[in-house]
Structure 1
Amino acid sequence: MKEINIGGVPEHFNLAWHLTLKDGEYKEKGIDLKWQDYPGGTGAMCKALRDAEIDMAVILTEGIIKDIIAGNPSKIIQTFVDTPLVWGVHVAAHSSFNNINELKGTKAAISRYGSGSHLMAYINAEYHDWDLENDLNFEVIKNLDGAVKGLTDGDADYFLWEKFMTKPIVDEGVFRRIGECPTPWPCFVVAAREDFLESNADELKSVLGIINNTTADFKHIPSIDKTIANRYGQQLADVQEWLSITEWSQDVIDEETINTVQDHLFSLNIIPEKVAYSKLVTKL
């Protein structure tokens, strides 16, 4: 039995992994797939890949591209979610801010530097023509729980996080969502460490084959909307809206998309250079 360690955020996007694990499909292929939740998100998973704590990760596209260019010895092996991630722009319920432009020059809560919440603060600033040097300030809060405390205590002024995962916190009256910021590219990819890739390509193909079979029909699983609502503490109508705008992928990310991401990150000074497609992506 080949042990493979995989990381991902504890969010509804990754339910398909848990369903296939529960069904024992990987063990049938001689693979002991061990899932590790990373509430800290992309930055935490990038570190785990670098430290060889995990062999593969389901990770934000822009985050892993940035970290590979910065020296993470990993490669993207597939797109996982083909549609953009819709980030909500959140403030504390008692905050005086009512629209995104009022946030110019204030402090953004981020899970860590290099994380999705950090990179998307730049994308949001770009959308609104802010000065990237002077209008962005950051407070590291580690995760969603840290953001609740940080915004409530006034340590930070706003926080970008996936719209539907934060909806219950908005419903509770802890956050207010004053805007949205979608990614200009497919949101999640699967990445693997290069040294693991070299010696375990067949096993990785098997893993992808199993998850792809499930994601291809994910929306047609009976009562999947109710399952997601119950598991992740969400309103059924919110889950149904999320399912209607979300598409999974079973394909390798294409060069045009990789170039689009790099163009954005380079223009925002988030990466020092753009690199060849082959430096970022491996087709199994």
Structure 2
Amino acid sequence: MKKVNIGGVPEHFNLAWYLTLKNGEYKEKGINLRWHDYYGGTGAMCKGLRSGDIDIAVILTEGIIKDIIDGNPSRIVQTFVQSPLIWGIHVAASSNFKTIDDIKGTRAAISRYGSGSHLMAYINAKNQDWDLDKDLNFEVIKNLDGAVKGLTEGDADYFMWEKFTTKPLVDDGTFRKIGNCPSPWPCFVIAVRNEFIENNVDDLTTILDIINQTTSEFKSIPSIDKTIANRYEQQLEDVQEWLSLTEWSQELIDKKTINNVQNQLFNLDIIPKKVDYKDLIHKV
């Protein structure tokens, strides 16, 4: 049986992977797919792809595009979630900051450089017409637990993370949300190491076929909202709102979207150059 390692954030977006694994759908096809939770997010997964710890990553679009341009030997094989990610902008509940204007020039908590929390801080700064050199400062906190500690203890001032994941921390009075910043592109893609693509294309096709069947029917799974609420300890009404806003994809990310991401990252000096569409994607 072929062993395949896949990584993703332990969030509701990836429940479809859990369901297909629980049902043994990959093993039926001779594939031992092993899921690895990456609490450190996109930056940690980029490192995992580079080292070969994982073969596949369900990863933020902007993060993997940046890292492929920076030399990650992987390619995007598909969009996973078509809708934008809604990033909540959070401060400690006891913070004096009340608005997005108040955090200008303060310290953004980021999981690591090159992560979504890092890159989206630039997008937010651009949206607010801030000076990218003077008004952005970063404090590395590794993960969500690190953000709780960092903001609560005053080591950082604000933190951007997917708003539904952090909603329980807002509800319990740990964080206060002062705004939202949607990603200006589809949020998650599936990226695969080049070596794996070259040697295991049939297995990769099988894996994509299985997950795509589940995501195409995901919203019609009986009581899926209650399942998500229970598994991820979220309020049912929040899960229902999230489901209404979220659309999965079973298609390869298109050239126009790739160019949009590259243009914005290049204009923000996050990437040193723009590359051809074919250098970022692989059509399975």
TM-score of the pair, normalised by structure 1: 1.00
Q: 1:111 matched to which residue of 2?
A: 111
Quick one: distance in 2 between partners of 1:82 and 1:121?
A: 21
The corresponding residue for 1:183 is: 183
| Matching residue of 1:39 | 39
Point out 4+ residue stretches in structure 1 off by more than 3 angstroms: none
Partner of 1:54: 54
Q: Secondary structure at the match of 1:126?
A: helix
Structure 2: runs of 5+ lacking an equivalent: none
Question: What do residues 178-234 of structure 1 show as CA deviations (whole Å, max 9, x unaligned)?
Answer: 000000000000000001100101100000000000000100000000000000000
2:276 paired residue number:
276
User: Where do 5+ consecutive residues of structure 1 fail to align?
Assistant: none
| CA deviation profile, 1:103-144 (whole Å, cap 9, x unmatched) | 110000000000000000000000000000110000000000
- Cα distance in 2 for partners of 1:101, 1:2 equals 52
Counterpart CA distance in 2 for 1:124 and 1:162 is 14
Residue number in structure 2 paired with 1:263: 263
Q: Percent identity?
A: 73
The letter for the 1-side match of 2:51 is D
Give the counterpart letter for 2:275 in structure 1. V
Partner of residue 158, structure 1: 158
CA displacement at 1:14 relative to structure 2: 0.1
C-alpha RMSD of the superposition: 0.3
- Give me the whole-angstrom Cα distance separating, in 2, the residues matched to 1:29 and 1:83: 30
Equivalent in the alignment of 1:202: 202
CA shift, 1:266, in A, is 0.2
What's the counterpart of residue 4 of structure 2? 4
Query: What displacement does 1:169 show?
Result: 0.2
Q: Is residue 139 from structure 1 mapped to residue 129 from structure 2 by the alignment?
A: no
Give the Cα separation in 2 of the matches to 1:66 and 1:265: 8
1:176 counterpart SS class: strand
Q: Residue 238 of structure 2 corresponds to which residue in structure 1?
A: 238
Count of matched residue pairs: 284
Q: How does 1:204-223 map to 2 (within 5 A)?
A: 204-223=204-223
Shift of 1:242: 0.1
1:7-37, CA deviations, whole angstroms, 9 ceiling, x for partnerless residues? 0000000000000000000011110000000
In structure 2, give the amino acid aligned to 1:159. F
1:37-95 deviation per Cα after TM superposition (whole angstroms, max 9, x unaligned)? 00000000000000000000000000000000000000000000000000000000000
Shift of 1:156: 0.4
TM-score by length of 2: 1.00
Give 3-state SS (helix, strand or coil) of 1:275's partner. Answer: coil
Counterpart in 2 of 1:172? 172
